[in-house]
Structure 1
């Protein structure tokens, strides 16, 4: 499934994997998430409802450009830097083109809109 990510006047595309977690995320769309910088490698923000972890491994090592979910915090995550393996991370899909690089250049908190 493709989704559109909008931050200010910038638009990005992402493709979500097929999983129980992405079905739960899709059911919450359209969605606005207030995100803040975390560790200089990701933007994170809370989702209104938790996503299913059915069929997911205990953790993941996301790549730059991945869209993820951090289950312990119920946070949506946009990875723009190198995050190592961590328990509770679920990779939901991948942003297209230069989205990660453009997000890396956004200082501080951002408002993210997601829609199909």
Structure 2
């Protein structure tokens, strides 16, 4: 399952994990959201409803470029800097081209849609 993200002249894809939360997100697409900076290492976008937390739990090998869901707040978290797992964080997938598009600062309209395969630059 692949997603396409478009905001502020940035256009990139992510490959989803095979877990219940990722499948739930996939079932909601397409979505028009707002993406904004949070802390110094991530961008966040609030979903119109919470995703299932079925099968969630601790994960390791956290990495720049991870696409996650933060269940307590109901938002996507796209990491452009190092982070550590915290309770309520569910990894949904990975950005295919790395985290560089996330370095654009500010709040922007974000389009999230399904694509048949990632486009690599």
Instruction: Give TM-score scaled by structure 2 length.
Output: 0.86
Q: Which residue of 1 aligns with 2:102?
A: 103
Q: In angstroms, what is the RMSD of aligned CA positions? A: 1.5
Deviates further, 32-41 or 56-65 = 56-65
Q: Report the Cα distance in structure 1 between the residues aligned to 2:7 and 2:80, rounded to whole angstroms.
A: 14
Q: Tell me if structure 1 keeps the 8 A contact 2:58–2:85.
A: no
Q: Which runs of 5+ in 1 are unaligned?
A: none
Q: Which runs of 5+ in 2 are unaligned?
A: 115-121
Specify the SS of the correspondent of 2:72.
helix
Q: Which residue of 1 aligns with 2:89?
A: 89
Structure having the larger proportion of residues in helix: 1
Instruction: Give TM-score scaled by structure 1 length.
Output: 0.90
Distance 1:90 1:28, change over 3 A: same
Distance 1:113 1:88, change over 3 A: same
Alpha-carbon offset, residue 56 of structure 1: 1.1
Displacement over 4 Å in runs of 4+: 58-61
Alpha-carbon offset, residue 62 of structure 1: 3.3
1:80 aligns with 2:80: yes
| Count of residues in correspondence between the two structures | 114
Q: Which residue of 1 aligns with 2:56?
A: 56
Q: Which residue of 2 aligns with 1:38?
A: 38
